[in-house]
Amino acid sequence: MNEFENDPTENTESTTGSSAQIGLALLSAAFCIFLFSQISNLGQNASSMRWQSENLNRQIESLTGAEKNAQELIKQREATVQQTQQVQERYTSLLTDIIQLAETDPDAKSVVEKYKIARQKTDSAPAAVAPVSGATKP
């Protein structure tokens, strides 16, 4: 009958030891899954950073090209700006001459009065002629 008797201390130790091993195995498995998820997340972050870096390089190239184009356009427009300034100076000179002529010539005086041509009074710029705004009613 000894064979059928259960020793309570012997049964408790084997149950406690196996449950501790199962708990440790589950904890190890959970830690491995956590590490695997972290490694895969780092891989995704690395690919995202590569994509952002490539896009940044493309944007830098695009902006560099746009800057070069803008500088070329500025150089091309400099001649036009100089021509415009020369034409403006000629018109200013012409209208100044008309104003001076209006003091002695009645026809010039009628043109000055009709188009309301007058000198602008500014301190920083030399005396210029006001732009013609349009003809008055006849």
Tens-place pLDDT, residues 76-124: 999 899 999 999 999 999 999 999 999 999 999 999 999 988 888 766 5
Sketch the domain layout of the chain as residue ranges: 12-129
pLDDT of residue 14: 59
88-111 in b/e form (b: 16+ CB < 10 A) is eeeebeebbebbeebeeeeebeeb
- This prediction has a pTM of 0.44
pLDDT, mean over the chain: 84
pLDDT reading at 55 higher than 90: yes
The closest alpha carbon to 110, from 77, 136, 83, belongs to: 136
Beta bridge partners of 129: 119
